[in-house]
Amino acid sequence: MRHARVYAMVVAMWALMIAGGGIAVNVLGPIHAQDESGEAAVSAAKAAAAVGLVVAWVWALSRIKSAIFSPRRA
């Protein structure tokens, strides 16, 4: 039964990685600047959004890990 918890954590981690990649490609990818001067701002906004997604995913994985491996569930 202990192995099932590890597998659940791995599945949750992969699901979050695939979802994050989909968000990055489908939402952030198509954003473009209209002029040459706006390219830096758009790039900075995309980078900030990507970093925000990483922070959100690490927080979510931390919560999932705590829920799966908490001593109360044993």
What is the tens place of the pLDDT at every residue in 5-64? 788 888 888 898 898 888 888 988 888 878 777 888 888 888 899 899 889 988 988 888
The pTM for the full model equals 0.71
Q: Where are the domains of the chain?
A: 4-73
Angle between helices 2-23 and 39-69 (to 10 degrees): 170
Phi, psi of 70 (to 5 degrees): -70, 145
- Residue 73, pLDDT > 60, answer no
What band does 2 get if pLDDT is binned at 50, 70 and 90? low
- Residue 1, pLDDT > 80, answer no
pLDDT score for 72? 67
Give the residue, 74 or 37, on which the prediction is more confident: 37
